[in-house]
Amino acid sequence: MNFVQAFVQIEGVRTHYLTAGHGPTLLLIHGGGSGADARGNWKAVMPTYAKHFRVVAVDMPGFGESARPDPATFDYGQTMRNRHMAAFVEHIGGGKPIDIIGNSMGGATALGVAIERPELVSKLVLMGSAGLDISNPDPAAKKALGSYDYTVEGMRKLVGYLAGSKFEITDEMVTYRHALTMRPGSREAMQAIHQRLKEDKMTYARELIASVQAPTLVVGGKEDQVAVLSRTYGYLDLIPNSWGFVLPHVGHWVMIEAPEAFAAITLAFLTGSAFGD
């Protein structure tokens, strides 16, 4: 499928997004790992979603084809991402509520919009999502996430850590993600994101997460070493209108590792065909 590319100025950032299909708007927000972007994260599921929705996949500031502002004058914290994404949702949704799927950092950002601007969110899918302060207790996990050295082999190791044991890592995927990290400003943006996490964390107080009223589907990979299962269950404990779905043999990227299963369960949730709507 050929996706339509577009750009819009949001919060002073030239923001890139891909669109396909027609119907109600469904927004997809990628994760924050090195080399992440809208196309790489969502290309396997966008054609399926486009049969039911006007699907939009956005590049967050510092990623993909979106601008990489100078960290000296731009705040790469989570508060900024939430504000930027809320403004983007207003742009693509015309001020009306839309459905949102977020992975990892994108999940934390989708959750932030649902907390701070609930009138903009119809249904929410959190997949391998950040936002809740439950992490892998193994110190090697944090070390692995921060070990990327901007080489092709370093990217291969990072992908191997993030993906599940049965995922076939292709040269195409590795070189694509590595090339994105080689673009001007990419390293500086990623360093600024990691630095800001020390003060503007990618987590929310439990009472704020519990305040989310939007119907929410929480999806996890059983082998996810980042968004561990206890975090998935934590969201289910806190969010009142929530359902859960966990896939075996899958890591942090359910939409990449098991696209057919991910599209099927999320479509059932979003269209209401199996959730009582």
Query: Angle at the Cα of 181 (from 180 to 187), degrees rounded to 5?
Result: 140
Structure tokens that stand for 172 in this block:
């195409």
The reply to whether 75 falls in a domain is yes
Query: Total domain count for the chain?
Result: 1
252 labelled catalytic: yes
Please tell me the predicted confidence (pLDDT) of residue 275: 65
The reply to whether 211 falls in a domain is yes
Q: Which residue range(s) make up the domain with 243? A: 4-271
Please tell me the predicted confidence (pLDDT) of residue 54: 97
Rounded Cα gap, residues 38 and 137, in angstroms: 29
- The reported pTM is 0.96
The reply to whether 45 falls in a domain is yes
Say whether pLDDT at 60 is over 70: yes
Rounded Cα gap, residues 176 and 232, in angstroms: 29
The reply to whether 277 falls in a domain is no
52 labelled catalytic: no
Mean pLDDT of 31-55: 96
Please tell me the predicted confidence (pLDDT) of residue 128: 96
The reply to whether 114 falls in a domain is yes
- The model's confidence at residue 273, banded by pLDDT at 50, 70 and 90, is low
Mind listing the pLDDT tens digit for each residue in 117-164? 999 999 999 999 999 999 877 777 777 777 899 999 999 999 999 999
- Rounded to the nearest angstrom, the gap between the alpha carbon of residue 139 and the centroid of all alpha carbons in its chain is 23
Please pick, among 104, 122, 129, 186, the residue that the annotation labels catalytic: 104
CATH code for the domain of 56: 3.40.50.1820
| Long-range contact pairs involving 195-202 (C-beta distance under 8 Å, separation at least 24) | 195/76, 196/75, 196/76, 196/77, 196/78, 197/77, 197/78, 199/77, 200/75, 200/77, 200/78, 200/79, 200/80, 201/78, 201/133, 202/32, 202/78, 202/105, 202/108, 202/130, 202/131
The reply to whether 276 falls in a domain is no
